[in-house]
């Protein structure tokens, strides 16, 4: 029997804890949890939590980044699996909606109240808007989407995404972030897809 590498074991333990933290934070937010509370909820030691990061604030940021990184990977996998250039934009926006569906209002409120975590969300919103521009460019080049200015579409979508992220769209419409992304997909794709004969 070969010995288990302690570094690999610590990395695996950190990864497992991070996944559990993400699930807890998405469901209940993060601002109300101190390290002791987290250790009790996670049924682990404080020392184990410090495998994730060196402080409560850094643990929060590691979990928020981990959530958005994992979501981006899952979204891109779905987009890459879609061969239809017209459908890829819709696939992308609907995948974003699905990734946001389990996120609680408390998590969003905590993101808004803690600027470093809010900045992670803002950066991911900017990256998503750029991805929309890229998908529009690809769709237009393939003849699957009507010829439009991808930069304009990307900028318009970025404004809506920013409004969703800031809570303005939800306040005005009553939609959750996930529902707003689904509605955005309907509007954008409906306006861009060529009629198929």
Residues 6+ apart with CB under 8 A from 190: none
**Structural domain contains residue 38:** yes
Task: Give pLDDT tens digits for 106-156.
Answer: 998 999 899 999 999 889 988 988 898 899 989 988 888 888 888 888 888
Instruction: Provide the residue range defining the domain that includes 71.
Output: 6-192
**Structural domain contains residue 17:** yes
Query: Which residue did the predictor score with more confidence, 87 or 1?
Result: 87
pLDDT band, very low/low/confident/very high, at 3 (cuts 50, 70, 90): low
Cα–Cα distances (Å) from 151 to 63, 125, 148, in that order, read 32, 16, 9
Please name the helix (run of DSSP H) or strand (run of DSSP E) that holds residue 40, with its range, or none: helix 35-42
Is the confidence at residue 197, as pLDDT, over 50? no
Task: Give pLDDT tens digits for 148-189.
Answer: 888 888 888 888 988 887 788 989 999 988 888 889 989 988
**Structural domain contains residue 183:** yes
The C-alpha atoms of residue 60 and residue 29 are separated, in whole angstroms, by 10
pLDDT band, very low/low/confident/very high, at 55 (cuts 50, 70, 90): very high
**Structural domain contains residue 182:** yes
Q: Which two tokens stand for residue 91?
A: 């696939």
The pTM (predicted TM-score) of the whole model is 0.84
The C-alpha atoms of residue 63 and residue 75 are separated, in whole angstroms, by 18
Residue 56, domain CATH: 1.10.357.10
**Structural domain contains residue 1:** no
Cα torsion 42, 44, 49, 52: sign: negative
**Structural domain contains residue 197:** no
Please name the helix (run of DSSP H) or strand (run of DSSP E) that holds residue 165, with its range, or none: helix 150-166
**Structural domain contains residue 173:** yes
Domain count, the chain: 1
The C-alpha atoms of residue 114 and residue 76 are separated, in whole angstroms, by 28
């Amino acid at each position: 029997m070969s010995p288990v590498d302690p570094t690999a074991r610590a990395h695996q333990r950190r990864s497992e804890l991070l996944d559990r933290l993400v699930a807890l934070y998405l469901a209940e937010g993060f601002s109300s949890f101190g390290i002791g509370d987290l250790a009790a909820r996670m049924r682990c030691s404080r020392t184990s939590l410090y495998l994730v990061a060196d402080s409560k604030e850094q643990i929060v940021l590691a979990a928020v980044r981990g959530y958005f990184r994992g979501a981006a990977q899952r979204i891109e996998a779905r987009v890459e699996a879609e061969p239809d250039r017209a459908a890829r934009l819709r696939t992308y926006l609907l995948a974003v909606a699905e990734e946001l569906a389990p996120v609680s209002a408390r998590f969003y409120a905590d993101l808004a109240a803690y600027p470093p975590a809010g900045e992670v969300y803002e950066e991911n919103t900017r990256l998503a808007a750029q991805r929309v521009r890229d998908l529009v460019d690809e769709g237009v080049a393939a003849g699957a989407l009507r010829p439009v200015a991808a930069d304009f579409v990307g900028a318009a979508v970025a404004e809506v995404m920013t409004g969703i992220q800031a809570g303005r769209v939800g306040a005005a419409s009553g939609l959750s972030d996930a529902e707003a992304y689904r509605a955005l997909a309907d509007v954008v794709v409906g306006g861009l897809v060529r009629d198929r004969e």
